[in-house]
Amino acid sequence: MLAGDIESLSSGFTAMFIFSIVVALILLTLIFALEINTRKNELAILVCMGESKFKVAWQLLGEYLIIAALSFVLALFSSHYLAKEISASMIDTNTLLENNTVTNIHNLLKRDITVGDIAESYQINLNLKEILILTF
């Protein structure tokens, strides 16, 4: 029962992830176009004062990269917290239903498996190495 729940959650999260990526790209494109349009005069003044178009473009890109980095860090930690809460909720919900499954697994493997062992397998840990891999 638990494996079926996890598989259905996995496919649902994959679809939701792809949808959110597409929507985020569309929104970012629209926001970027709107921001450039509203700052048209500022950008024109910078170019008239002698700044190169390349330098102005890098300034805009730098501003957006700073915002993106902050958003990424906040999203990473908030999703980590959310994942912990979801896993704890799944464990709490399934603990009462899975007592027979724990017994069946024990009979199959011929070793002592407790609900705590199953709960430990659901723990979500995020270390510095994984954060750096996701960032770069």
pLDDT level of residue 118 (50, 70, 90 thresholds): low
Q: What is the pLDDT of residue 35?
A: 85
Q: What are the pLDDT digits (tens) for 40-93?
A: 898 889 899 998 989 988 988 898 889 888 988 888 888 877 777 777 766 666
What is the separation of C-alpha 42 from the centre of its chain, rounded to a whole number of angstroms? 35
* In-domain check, residue 47: no
> Quick check: helix, strand or coil at residue 26?
helix
- Alpha-carbon distance of 34 to 44, in angstroms, equals 16
Number of domains in the chain: 2
pTM: 0.49
In this predicted structure, the answer to whether residue 122 has a pLDDT above a threshold of 80 is no
| Residues 128 and 62 grouped into a single domain | yes
CA-angle at 41, arms to 38 and 46, nearest 5°: 125
Amino acid at 1: M
Higher confidence at residue 17 or residue 4? 17
Q: What share of the chain is helix, strand, coil (3-state, %, to 5)?
A: 85, 0, 15
Q: What is the pLDDT of residue 22?
A: 92
* In-domain check, residue 2: yes
Amino acid at 44: A
| Residues 97 and 123 grouped into a single domain | yes
- Alpha-carbon distance of 32 to 80, in angstroms, equals 28
| Residues 103 and 69 grouped into a single domain | yes
Q: How far is CA 26 from CA 2, 22, 118, in A?
A: 36, 6, 41
Q: What is the pLDDT of residue 85?
A: 75
In this predicted structure, the answer to whether residue 94 has a pLDDT above a threshold of 70 is no
| Residues 67 and 28 grouped into a single domain | no
| Residues 59 and 109 grouped into a single domain | yes
| Residues 58 and 2 grouped into a single domain | no
* In-domain check, residue 86: yes
Q: Domain span at residue 31?
A: 1-38
| Residues 13 and 79 grouped into a single domain | no
Residue 99: both structure tokens together: 């007592």
